[in-house]
Amino acid sequence: MGQLQLWLAILAGLSGIVAQEDLYRKVFIFRKDPSDAYVVLRPKLGQPLQNFTVCLRSYTDLTRPYSLFSYATKAQDNEILVLKPKPSEYRFYVGGKFVTFRVPEGHRDWEHICTSWESATGIAEFWLNGKPWPRKGLQRGYTVGAEAAILLGQEQDAFGGGFDVYNSFSGELSDVYLWDMGLSPDKMRAAYQSLRLPPSILGWRSLSYEVKGDVVVKPRLREALGP
């Protein structure tokens, strides 16, 4: 590891320090349960969203509800929210309304999800471990605001705060991305396989973030990809 990479790694392990680095084969570890810790993401976001895709990978043994990705504006705290209320269900929110995707209960392994939405049709997509679920309708004609607080590990009930620690995440998060477009099926599968991806608003290979509380950046212990 070079001097610059070593310095970035040290910074990333200190709460409240803004870092930007390539997090390939690294994870955020949320160590406590329940927890008031979270990670703030700093996107390259200049205008409201008519379309978007969120992808991420998680690894946890939680059975209670937890939030993975929370995008709030001052007008709407659940502008975009990816929440897992129980082991057999994901909820995907846009503009305060949600659709539910029922999934097989995990086997204490990594889960990769992608969710996408387009305003023109209101179509919401959900992909789990590289496979699509039946599409659903959500908030047709809506526009997602641009001035946002984007957090990992907590659900915002107010702009940048209002947390319920019993909706907090505990475990490992990796491969977080946000695009201002809907990804094609090939790119959804590429995200699952950690292959080359189009330019993104938020990208794991060049992530600007700030750790708040007990979150540590460490190398991934094992390969996260499924068969």
Instruction: Tell me the per-residue pLDDT of 164-178, one tens digit each, with 9 for 90 and over.
Output: 999 999 999 999 999
> Is the pLDDT assigned to residue 5 strictly greater than 50?
no
CA dihedral sign of residues 36, 92, 79, 218: positive
**How far is C-alpha 5 from the geometric centre of its chain's CA atoms?**
24
What integer pLDDT is reported at residue 9 of this predicted model?
A: 46
What integer pLDDT is reported at residue 224 of this predicted model?
A: 62
Provide the whole-model pTM: 0.91
Domains (range + CATH), the chain = 3-219 (2.60.120.200)
Whole-Å CA distances, 71 to 31, 67, 99, 104, 160: 22, 11, 16, 26, 9
Confidence of residue 17 (pLDDT cuts 50, 70, 90): low
Which tokens go with 178? Answer: 């946000």
d(CA 106, CA 136): 22
Confidence of residue 8 (pLDDT cuts 50, 70, 90): very low
User: Which stretch of 63-72, 105-114, 142-151, 169-178 has the lowest confidence by average pLDDT?
Assistant: 105-114
Confidence of residue 19 (pLDDT cuts 50, 70, 90): confident
What integer pLDDT is reported at residue 18 of this predicted model?
A: 77
